[in-house]
Amino acid sequence: MSEEKTESNSVFSMVKLGLVLAAFAVVSCALLAVVNNVTSPVIAQNQVKKANEKMKAVFADADSFEEVNDFAPSTDSSISIQKMYLAKKGGSVVGAVVQVAGPTYDKATIILGIDLTQTVTGVQFLELSDSPGFGLKANDPTYKVKSGSTFYGQFAGKKASGGFKAGETFDAVSGATITSKGVAGLLTQGTYSAGLYLSEKYGGESSSIEAPVADEQKLFTFEDAISDINSSSEATSTESVSIEDITSAEQKIIHNMIVNKEALVKDSNGNVIEAAVSVSGQTYSENGGTVIAVVNKDRTIVGSRIIFLKDSPSQGQNTTRSSFYSQFSGKSADQDLRSGTDFDAVSGATISSDCIADMVKVASYEAAAIMENYGGVSAPGGSADYSLNENYLEE
């Protein structure tokens, strides 16, 4: 009997505890709902206030801002138009404020104002995650460019039609060329989109500049790469070339890179005019890429292309654009291809860029060595002891 009574008391205690906890949960939920109802409007008001303060900073003449959603999307797939507002004064539209995000050395989000005459009224950073000491100078209020202004402050008063070219139409951040060029891309897209909206809907001044578009991303086969390189080269643009495979039966491994294919490029008379070599190696991903380089008898890189790449679509794949790989054309197969000195890395894809440059270097040097057997210039002394970027990071 005593055991039954004890068990009954235990069950009662558990039920009682469950009811108490349930009561606490109900009360807590009710209190959270009350707090949320009280604080949500305040939070929303603060957010609007902060947004208005940012917009006021880039468009001081406006006294109110109205968000719009019927603007056209970015014409450059790598850049996003996140928000757009009409800037008003006394109820009349006097311009627009646009929020733009995209790649710099890493990435940035800016907010800029533009009036009805396509003139920039101000620029501010909302986010910038580039290198401390270099790229972050762009958002440093104590850092001054050559003109004596802050980097972002120099854009106020510039006409969008003049374009945004680092080192030409505005002062770049010292030691941060990639960041500066990235910001130029954001400004170009932002002013184009906002200017077009104002022109079409509010009688703003029309712009003569074309819509900014990113280079097409494209991969090649070995043969198509050679054809594309020669069709793009002034020296061989009129030649009808043929390709003779001379790949060695023994696999070559050079600086941890694999030589995949070697070939001679001949003109219509059967004369050897170039050598082509493809190599594979690590990029952002292990064994992530294959690159081809074509070299002539003067040991000059006629061109390079990317045959295979498994890096991220949003960043690493941007190295397959001509604006990147065209930087190697015309350089000597004997010079080092160092990031920041001999080429500019793709914004947000430094590792991919450096690794591809290393593959171009190895492939071009091997191609130049082949050309020595066909009347090409001999390698200068010490050129075999070249250095690479070796910026590797496995995913």
Confidence (pTM): 0.63
Q: Is residue 6 part of a domain?
A: no
Cα distance between residue 213 and residue 196, in whole Å: 15
Q: Is residue 30 part of a domain?
A: no
Q: In this predicted model, what pLDDT tens digit does every residue of 118-165 receive, in sequence order?
A: 999 999 999 999 878 888 999 999 999 999 999 999 999 999 999 999
User: Per the structure, how many domains does the chain have?
Assistant: 2
Q: Are residues 197 and 248 in the same domain?
A: no
pLDDT score recorded for residue 323: 85
Q: How far is CA 205 from the centre of its chain?
A: 30
- Which of residues 168, 202, 236 is at a domain's end? 202
Q: Is residue 52 part of a domain?
A: no
Q: In this predicted model, what pLDDT tens digit does every residue of 315-363 receive, in sequence order?
A: 899 899 988 999 999 999 999 999 989 999 988 899 999 999 999 999 9
Q: Are residues 121 and 177 in the same domain?
A: yes
Q: 327 lies in which domain range?
A: 222-374
Q: Is residue 330 part of a domain?
A: yes
SS3 at position 16: helix
Q: Are 391 and 355 in contact (CB under 8 A)?
A: yes
Q: Are residues 270 and 196 in the same domain?
A: no
How many CB atoms within 10 Å of residue 263? Answer: 23
Helix (H) and strand (E) counts in the chain:
5, 11
Q: Are residues 257 and 343 in the same domain?
A: yes
SS3 at position 10: helix
Q: Is residue 391 part of a domain?
A: no
Q: Are 222 and 276 in contact (CB under 8 A)?
A: yes
Q: In this predicted model, what pLDDT tens digit does every residue of 70-114 receive, in sequence order?
A: 999 999 888 999 999 999 999 999 999 999 999 887 789 999 999
Q: Is residue 109 part of a domain?
A: yes
Q: Are residues 172 and 100 in the same domain?
A: yes
Q: Are residues 102 and 182 in the same domain?
A: yes
Q: Is residue 81 part of a domain?
A: yes
Helical H segments across the chain, by residue range: 2-58, 177-202, 222-232, 322-325, 350-371
Q: Are residues 115 and 198 in the same domain?
A: yes
Task: Compute and round to an integer the Cα radius of gyration of the chain.
Answer: 30
Q: Are residues 231 and 169 in the same domain?
A: no
Residue 231 has pLDDT above 70, yes or no: yes
Q: Are residues 127 and 246 in the same domain?
A: no
Q: What are phi and psi of 259, to 5 degrees?
A: -80, 115
Angle at 177 between CA 175 and CA 183, to 5 degrees: 125
Residue 233 has pLDDT above 70, yes or no: no
Q: Are residues 180 and 235 in the same domain?
A: no
Q: Are 265 and 294 in contact (CB under 8 A)?
A: yes
